Structure 1
Amino acid sequence: MIYFFKLIRWKNLLLIILAQLLIKYALLEPLKVDYGLDTALTPLGFILLVIATISIAAAGYIINDIEDVEADTINKPDSVIIGKQISEKSATNLFIILNIIGVVSGFLISRAVDKSAFFVLFIITSGLLYLYSTYLKRITLIGNIVIAGLVSLSILLVGIFDLIPVISDSNKSSQLFFLSLIKDYAIFAFMINLLRELVKDIEDTDGDYKMNIQSMPILLGRSRATKLVFILSLIPLMIIVFYLSNNLYKQPMAIGYVLILIVAPMIYSTIKLFNATHKKDYKHISTVLKLIMLTGVLSLLLFQFILLK
């Protein structure tokens, strides 16, 4: 069982669940009355949305590991699960089962909010994860952008399913305000995850080279790729500081939180990128970026105190 949880990247799935929970129950639900919000998702509907999201994400991790056995044997031999602890046949069956659960749950929740067309989001996500594992990740930057985009979508889904189906003339401004707020978090998730994907590519250069994956560090070399990612890491840092100064300048609690738990770690990871040379450096930076994602998600807890002032 422990290897199954490792295979589906249970820590990453918990972060997705946490993000969706906080958007629903720390942002939208506490502020419904004060802001005249309407929400479409019942508790059961929300559970179905979470199941659909994490099932498809878990299936994506499994197919990626199946396709990456040879590369992972080089990049991280101690972490290889397929063919050792879990057979490829069993992993393939799990991939199919989880996709079915995810797609069926997506269909049910789309019907429940009376937006059957939204069902296509789950089909597209499932298909893109398969294409990423088998083809897209071999194309420079495309695979990185796809994965970062899908992580971003997992955050947007709560707004799409909870707010859009019940937009009316009377609540339109409030619904769109909170949808825009969720969109800002999705953009943040996209930027941080894109950086993390690029850092992981630099870390995994040896195995990717053998698998003929045209990642950025293979095309440019580790040193040039590191410098480029260093420059790219300045972009989300500047955007967050700009957002902070323009939107939260009257909120000392929010400013303190963002500066200490988001901006400071981002500056740290940027400095580490500038000096990174060894595989362990990139692994460390990747871990810091994941922690920034966590603190970014946890900042959702602040809004019921900020917006109700």
Structure 2
Amino acid sequence: MRLVAAFLRLVRWPNLVFIIITQLLFYFCIYQPLFQTQEIYQLLWLIVASVFIAAAGYIINDYFDLNIDQINKPGKNVINSIINRRWAIIWHIGLSTAGIIATAIAVSFHKWYLIIANIVVVSLLWLYSTSFKRQLLIGNIVISLLTSWTVLILFFAKVPFNAVYGNNDPNITKYFKISFLYAGFAFVISLVREAIKDIEDLKGDLRYECRTLPIVTGIRTAKVYVAVWLVVLIGALLLLQLYLLLIGWAWAVIYSILFVIVPSIILLSRLLKARTTQEFSKLSALTKLIMFTGILSMIFFRL
């Protein structure tokens, strides 16, 4: 049981559950009401692919971050203490391969570009762990793009590239707009969280010569960077609420204000005052909560 618990910690099981919830909500609240079709077989395989590839990414990240985590998160990395490094690599390779196979089963070879896309995702997760995360902003952008891909892969699994532009189907147009709305939200909130985590992990990153934003520009500039993205996000969400009011979605507006916009404003306020590692850790957790409540708003498309 100790080994199982360690493995679940290694693959960040709460984050994997979040991926499952996101893709289930997207399918049943966005896709299914628009197109009135049931394609559960494909959905399940895409979820398996996303979960396996993400789990492999967490494993390889901890594998290469062993020394840094001993400073930033002492006692939390299970590699070498409970799980042997060789087994970590084996699990990474096995889960990555299984994720690619699951993608091929889900979309078949007539959408070969999605199989290639997930191969690229696996490669980017490796490069992120070995190089990108130690470079200025590159790692943050890569992770944010991969977070938005959790939604976009479901979009492209259903809609071919040539149907996005120049189509006369209002459902495809609406599906495109909603998909990229949530993907954009996931991208921005991930940028915010990754930058906050960089500030939180400053001590260990500095010792191992990483070039993250707070190291290169200083904590104050990094906080300004995060604040700008938060202001952009809050502004975009407020504009969206005006549109929702016009179409009569009052309950969605109330939900968004209480559970997404207000927490984002609180996050911005606390960010400007934060000084300690513990404070930035709480901000990171709050950011994850905002992402979760934002994704949950998909329910209103079903209602």
Cα deviation for residue 166 of structure 1 reads: 10
Alpha-carbon deviations, 1:204-261, whole Å to 9, x = none? Answer: 0011112211001111222332233223321111111112213444321111000000
Map of 2:233 onto structure 1: 236
| TM-score, normalization by structure 1 | 0.92
Alpha-carbon deviations, 1:43-81, whole Å to 9, x = none? Answer: 111111111111111111110000000000000102111
Question: Counterpart amino acid of 1:205?
Answer: L
How many equivalent residue pairs?
298
Q: Structure 1 CA distance, aligned partners of 2:80 and 2:292? A: 32
Cα deviation for residue 177 of structure 1 reads: 1.3
Is 1:246 matched with 2:243? Answer: yes
| 1:17 maps to which of 17, 20, 28 | 20
| Farther-moved stretch of structure 1 (224-233 vs 286-295) | 224-233
C-alpha spacing 1:170/1:263, structure 2 compared with 1 (3 Å): closer
Q: Structure 1 CA distance, aligned partners of 2:145 and 2:155? A: 16
Map of 1:150 onto structure 2: 146
Matches within 5 A, 1:69-148: 69-111=66-108, 114-148=110-144
- SS of the residue corresponding to residue 78 of structure 2 reads coil
Map of 2:205 onto structure 1: 208
Q: Residues 68 and 205 of structure 2 are in contact (CA less than 8 Å); yes or no, is this contact kept in structure 1?
A: yes
Cα deviation for residue 26 of structure 1 reads: 2.0
| 2:59 maps to which of 38, 59, 62 | 62
Map of 2:193 onto structure 1: 196
C-alpha spacing 1:298/1:280, structure 2 compared with 1 (3 Å): same
Q: Residues 110 and 117 of structure 1 are in contact (CA less than 8 Å); yes or no, is this contact kept in structure 2?
A: no
Structure 1: 5+ residue stretches without partners: 34-38
Q: Residues 188 and 229 of structure 2 are in contact (CA less than 8 Å); yes or no, is this contact kept in structure 1?
A: no
Q: Residues 163 and 175 of structure 1 are in contact (CA less than 8 Å); yes or no, is this contact kept in structure 2?
A: yes
Map of 1:164 onto structure 2: 160
| 2:255 maps to which of 254, 257, 281 | 257
Map of 2:267 onto structure 1: 269
Question: Counterpart amino acid of 2:251?
Answer: M
Q: Residues 271 and 283 of structure 2 are in contact (CA less than 8 Å); yes or no, is this contact kept in structure 1?
A: yes
Cα deviation for residue 277 of structure 1 reads: 0.3
Structure 2: 5+ residue stretches without partners: none
| TM-score, normalization by structure 2 | 0.93
Alpha-carbon deviations, 1:168-211, whole Å to 9, x = none? Answer: 99863211211220110000000001100000000000111122
CA RMSD between the two structures: 1.9
Is 1:5 matched with 2:1? Answer: no
Alpha-carbon deviations, 1:126-180, whole Å to 9, x = none? Answer: 1111011111112100100000100001111111102338959986321121122
Map of 1:302 onto structure 2: 300
Question: Counterpart amino acid of 1:304?
Answer: R
Cα deviation for residue 29 of structure 1 reads: 1.5
| 2:171 maps to which of 168, 174, 186 | 174
Cα deviation for residue 286 of structure 1 reads: 0.6
Alpha-carbon deviations, 1:102-142, whole Å to 9, x = none? Answer: 01111222217x32232111111011110111111121001
Question: Counterpart amino acid of 1:21?
Answer: L
- SS of the residue corresponding to residue 230 of structure 1 reads helix
Q: Residues 34 and 175 of structure 2 are in contact (CA less than 8 Å); yes or no, is this contact kept in structure 1?
A: no
C-alpha spacing 1:271/1:44, structure 2 compared with 1 (3 Å): same
Map of 1:36 onto structure 2: none
Query: Percent of aligned positions with the same letter in both sequences?
Result: 33
